[in-house]
Amino acid sequence: MLAFRRRIAIANWKMYLGAAECIRAARAIRSGAGRVASRDVDIVLCPPSPSLAPVKEALGSTRVSVGAQDVHAELSGPYTGDVSVLQLRGMVRYVIVGHSERRERYGETDELVAQKVRRVVAAGLSPIVCVGETAEERGDGDTIAVVRRQVETVLHGVSALSLARCVVAYEPRWAISQGPGRPAPQPEPGDPAEVIRLIRKIASDHAGRRYAERLRVIYGGSVDAKTCCAFVREPGVDGALVGGASTKPSEFLAIVRAIATCRS
Ligand code: PGA
The CA 176 to ligand 1 mean position distance, Å, reads 5
Measured in Å, residue 180 CA sits from the centre of ligand 1 at: 10
The pLDDT of residue 35 is above 90: no
Specify the residue with its C-alpha closest to ligand 1, atom 9: 220
CA–chain centroid gap for 173, Å, is 14
Is residue 108 flagged as an active site residue?
Answer: no
- Find out whether the beta carbon of 218 lies less than 6 Å from any atom of ligand 1: no
Q: Tell me, using a 6 A CB cutoff, whether residue 153 lines ligand 1.
A: no
Q: Is 242 in the pocket of ligand 1 (CB under 6 A)?
A: yes
137 a catalytic residue: no
Average the pLDDT over each of 27-41, 54-68, 154-168 and give the range with the smallest value.
27-41
pLDDT digits (tens, 9 = 90+) for 181-202: 898 999 999 999 999 999 999 9
Q: Which of 10, 12, 44, 96 to mutate to test the pocket of ligand 1 (most atoms within 8 A of CB)?
A: 12
Distance, in Å, from the CA atom of 73 to the CA atom of 76, rounded to the nearest integer, reads: 9
pLDDT at 13 over 80: yes
Atom of ligand 1 nearest to the CA of 242: 3
Please tell me if the CB atom of residue 192 comes closer than 6 angstroms to any atom of ligand 1. Answer: no
pLDDT of 1 reads 46
Model pLDDT for residues 147-166, shown as the tens digit of each residue: 999 999 999 989 999 999 99
Burial class of residue 150 (count of CB atoms within 10 Å of its CB; 0-12, 13-18, 19+): buried
Question: Which one from 72, 99, 133, 213 is the annotated catalytic residue?
Answer: 99
Please, which pLDDT band fits residue 38 given cuts at 50, 70 and 90? Answer: low
243 Cα: distance to centroid of ligand 1 (angstroms): 4
Residues 202-216: tens digit of each pLDDT:
999 999 999 999 999
Q: Tell me how crowded residue 236 is: count the other CB atoms within 10 A of its CB.
A: 15
241 Cβ below 6 A of ligand 1: yes
Tell whether the model's pLDDT for residue 246 goes beyond 80: yes
CA 31 – CA 121 distance, rounded (Å): 30
Contacting residues for 119 by C-beta, under 8 A, at least 6 apart: 71, 73, 75, 84, 85
Task: Pick the atom of ligand 1 nearest to 171's CA.
Answer: 9
**Given 101, 133, 171, 213, the catalytic residue:** 171
Task: Please answer whether residues 211 and 203 qualify as being in contact, where contact means their C-beta atoms are separated by less than 8 angstroms.
Answer: yes
How many angstroms separate the CA atoms of 75 and 21, rounded? 30
Give the rounded percent of residues in the chain with a pLDDT score beyond 70: 98
**pLDDT score for 3:** 62
* Ligand 1 centroid from CA 192, angstroms: 15
Query: Strand ranges (DSSP E) for the chain?
Result: 7-12, 41-46, 65-68, 94-97, 126-131, 167-170, 216-219, 239-242
